[in-house]
Structure 1
Amino acid sequence: MGMPRKIVVEFGDTFPHGLFAVSEVTPARDFEKSTKTNSVQTIDEDSGCPVWTLDVMDGDPEARKADRTFTIRIITKVQPVLPPALPGLPFTAIELQGMTASPWVDTRSCSAPDEGRSHRCRARQGWSFRCMGIRAPKNMPGSGAAEQKAA
């Protein structure tokens, strides 16, 4: 048996300092099927459900600048709705449900060898996160409000 491509992870273990939505939920574009005039939404191969994207920020104060914000993919039949933001906060605190993580190698920092120099590779481990739903964090005031799960 080989290592699975998608590893099931717990939200609290992955983001112990919380996670914040910094954009609206939008349809993930299928770049192979879309044209300039017709945007086609990505469909998840395993579930057959549409894929949605959301830009988020990790609440970890120790997170590197390059790792602080990233995009997650949400797999649900209907477009998820973000929980209400707390008054006075610029971002919405969220908790992801049914999370998986897939490793990938980020080679954007690699450079080809220059004349007289060897290859310089500063590749790093990256993670692609997917979830099945979004809700307000359990420990936040008003967390009993709108909970979004996969239909």
Structure 2
Amino acid sequence: MAMQKRFPVEHSTVFPNGAFLHGEVTPVADFNAPAGPEGQRPQQRDKDTDLPLWQCVVIDGDEEAGRRDIGVTVKIAAKYQPVPPENKSPIPWTPVEFVGLTALPYVDDNGNRPRIAWSFRASDLVAPGQGRTDAKPPESKPESKAAA
């Protein structure tokens, strides 16, 4: 049986020592589509689900990771822009866990020697241990009502 292109992988398998959000979740620009009137690119869409693609950079918590492997980009296919969990840690990077994580190996030939690299895609990102399975639109905060 041949291996499928993308295959599911557990977050803990890819990031056994955790993943830490560095920066923001941003739209993935589609550089194969024509630019708009002001030069902006449309957002890339997932080929399988046709959902918009978002991306974030995470720091791999593995102390033995090489310098090329510490910063990992993960793309998220979601109808709405994923909202990272609140950072309740004492460090400046938000600990996150990816839901619906898949991996795709490819040959990275940018450098002295070709090497196997990985492309990661997920359906959501949550606080570690919260394994949410469905991405929902951002909720507005309810207005607080003072008790009379």
TM-score of the pair, normalised by structure 1 = 0.82
- Alignment partners' CA distance in 1, 2:82 and 2:60: 20
Q: Quote the residue 2:122 is aligned against.
A: 131
Q: Which runs of 4+ in 1 moved over 6 A?
A: none
Number of residue pairs aligned between Structure 1 and Structure 2: 134
Maintained 8 Å contact 1:15/1:59: yes
Q: Quote the residue 2:134 is aligned against.
A: 149
- Alignment partners' CA distance in 2, 1:136 and 1:85: 9
- Alignment partners' CA distance in 2, 1:16 and 1:75: 23
Maintained 8 Å contact 2:89/2:95: no
Structure 1: unaligned runs, 5 residues or longer: 111-121
- Alignment partners' CA distance in 1, 2:34 and 2:83: 25
Maintained 8 Å contact 1:56/1:72: yes
How far off is 1:88 after superposition? 2.6
TM-score of the pair, normalised by structure 2 = 0.84
Maintained 8 Å contact 2:99/2:133: no
- Alignment partners' CA distance in 1, 2:127 and 2:134: 12
**CA gap 1:38/1:148 in 2 versus in 1, 3 angstroms:** farther
- Alignment partners' CA distance in 1, 2:34 and 2:86: 32
- Alignment partners' CA distance in 1, 2:123 and 2:82: 10
Maintained 8 Å contact 2:29/2:44: yes
Identity, % of aligned positions = 39
How far does the alpha carbon of each residue in 1:38-95 deviate from its partner, in whole angstroms, 9 at most, with x for none?
Answer: 3200011111110001011100000001110021100110000000112531100000
Structure 2: unaligned runs, 5 residues or longer: 137-148
Q: In structure 1, the residue corresponding to 2:42 is in which secondary structure?
A: coil
